[in-house]
Structure 1
Amino acid sequence: MKKEAYKKELLLRSVQRRNGSDNYYKEVMKIQSWLTLFSIWNPNSGTATAIDGDFGPATEKAVKNFQQVHQMEENGYVDQHTFNVLTLNLKEAFEKPLFEDTVRGLLIEAANNHLMNYPFELEIRKESNSGPWVRSYMDGNEGNLWYWCMGFVQTIIDQVWSHLGKDFRTMMPLTYSCDTVGNTGLQKGFFIAIKPSGRIRI
């Protein structure tokens, strides 16, 4: 894979806990983001929490609730093992082997792998298009201006092309612009523009 920003989302710098001396603001926000993401598809889990970088009693309770759901020791702190469980969906989406034998089949398989793992964005500090999934698709970028649709599409193409031993950048540039991809495809002959009823479709 050429788009490997997701790997940073799987790692925890150090054990994070309530009032911990080794707590790091961004690491706590990552944990809070994953706890909140988990609550979206498990609304009764009690894991939703503010994403503010402060590992206080509410975050500790959310961690304990997450640990309870997974039948883990309910100690309220997050080490790499607990974080691995928190981020398992992301790892599955990006690293699950592909088995289909056609390009079309591989693209559908890869896309389904992501969709089945709930790739949701978050709103963090009034910024939409935020969170670990967005950063993974957008090479570390996030926020209101970072629409992640093309980042998602290129990630799927990257996975398939890498599976086939190819570099997707020979087909299109690494970009977050649908227009850039469309224009490049037209220039290289990958796309064909037709003009029915006065409208151009790609």
Structure 2
Amino acid sequence: MQKKSYLKEISISNTQKRFGTNVKKDVEKIQAWLTLYAMQNPNAGTATGIDGDFGPATEQAVINFQKAKGLPQNGVVDYYLFDALITPMKRAFENNSIGNNLRELVVNVAKNHAENNPYELVIRNQSNTGPWVRAYMDGNEGTSWYWCMGFAQTIIDQAASLQGKNFKNLMPLSYSCDTIGTTGLQKRILTRYQTARSNPSLIKPGDLFLLQKSTYDWYHTGIVIGVNGDVIETIEGNTNSDGSSNGNAVLNKIRNFKQSKIDFFSIEPLV
């Protein structure tokens, strides 16, 4: 893979504990993963502040996580326990998806990520933060860092790498929908919404959709995983149940491409 920032999110330098010789960034990772666990398990009691201070609240959150996992409850985060915390990201990035071709691989990689519940966090009053965002955005995070394209490119990168291909031969590494839309126009691999509406057979699983604000302005993207009648099924990041372009999760969505201005970027040159 070209995008390997996730590796920084699944490692700590040494054991972290209350009254220990701790590393602030490592403690912040631990607190973030404890809070992400709580988002999927709201009764676990593992949500805690993300400030890099391994105090009594963090220690209790660790104990509660250990209890939920049936592990010894000592409040200490060693490599073994941290590995349990970051299991969702390891499954998303390191489980080798299968597929008969690149399109199937893109779809299956996207589904695998969605199944592991990537969510952003709010840290120091900044949205678009946390381990998943940094993994998709090459270490960048913060309110201004919309991460839908970072997610989509990560999926294509991961799928392409399984075939020994480089996704940068298809598109530049970018977090901008405008950059990728313009690249699609230049390479003649962007299907405009008017054409897609009249000829839906041009839309294929594995392609990117790009929501159009105006002719040369796009504001949200994701992976097409299916086409059925007037609708596409997608997996997209930085969205929510309403289909926001600045939501907080990776979700499987349904969008009506005949009622929205949705262009499509084809991955066919890489297939």
For the aligned pair, the TM-score class normalised by the smaller chain equals over 0.9
User: What is residue 37 of structure 1 aligned with on the other side?
Assistant: 36
2:3 is aligned to 3
Q: Helix, strand or coil: the match of 2:77?
A: coil
Provide the C-alpha distance between the structure 2 equivalents of 1:7 and 1:17, rounded to a whole number of angstroms: 22
In structure 1, list runs of 5 or more residues that go unmatched. none
Go from structure 1 to structure 2 and tell me whether the alpha carbon gap of 1:78 and 1:183 turns closer, same or farther (over 3 Å shift): same
**What is the TM-score with the length of structure 1 in the denominator?**
0.95
Unaligned runs of 5+ in 2: 198-213, 216-261, 264-271
Residue 143 of structure 2 corresponds to which residue in structure 1? 144
- Alignment-derived partner of residue 13 in structure 2: 13
Letter in 1 for 2:11: L
Q: Secondary structure of the residue that 2:122 maps to in structure 1?
A: strand
Q: In 1, distance between residues paired with 2:42 and 2:194?
A: 47
Distance (Å, rounded) in 1 between the aligned partners of 2:166 and 2:189: 16
What does the per-residue CA deviation read over 1:75-125, in whole Å, with 9 as the maximum and x for residues that have no partner?
101011100000010010001111111322211110111111010000000
Q: Which amino acid aligns with 1:3?
A: K
- Superposed displacement of residue 25, structure 1: 1.1
Give the letter for the 2:45 counterpart.
G
CA distance in 2, matches of 1:147, 1:193: 23
Q: Distance in 1 between matches of 2:193 and 2:38?
A: 45
AA paired with 1:2? Q
Give the structure with the larger strand fraction: 2
User: What residue number does 1:109 align with?
Assistant: 108
* Aligned equivalent of 2:91: 92
Q: Find out whether 1:169 has 2:168 as its counterpart.
A: yes
Q: Which moved more, 1:94-103 or 1:55-64?
A: 94-103
1:184 and 2:206 matched? no
Percent of matched pairs sharing the same residue: 53
Asked if residue 62 in structure 1 is aligned to residue 40 in structure 2, the reply is no
- Give the secondary structure class of the aligned counterpart of 2:192: coil
Q: How far is the alpha carbon of 1:194 from its aligned partner?
A: 5.5
Q: Report deviation, 1:73.
A: 1.1
Q: Distance in 2 between matches of 1:80 and 1:178?
A: 38
The RMSD of aligned alpha carbons is 1.5
Q: Distance in 1 between matches of 2:81 and 2:18?
A: 15
Distance 1:77 1:146 in 2: 33
CA distance in 1, matches of 2:78, 2:181: 44
- Between 1 and 2, higher relative CO (CA 8 Å, sep ≥ 6) is seen in 1
C-alpha separation in 2, matches of 1:173 and 1:54:
39
How far apart in 1 are the matches of 2:47 and 2:15?
A: 20
> Could you tell me whether the CA contact under 8 Å between 1:186 and 1:193 is conserved in 2?
no
**More helix per residue: 1 or 2?**
1
Q: CA deviation at 1:195?
A: 4.5
Number of residue-to-residue matches in the alignment: 200
Aligned equivalents of 1:37 and 1:141: distance in 2? 18
2: CA distance, partners of 1:195 / 1:107: 25
Give me the whole-angstrom Cα distance separating, in 2, the residues matched to 1:139 and 1:130.
12
Cα distance in 2 for partners of 1:60, 1:155 equals 34
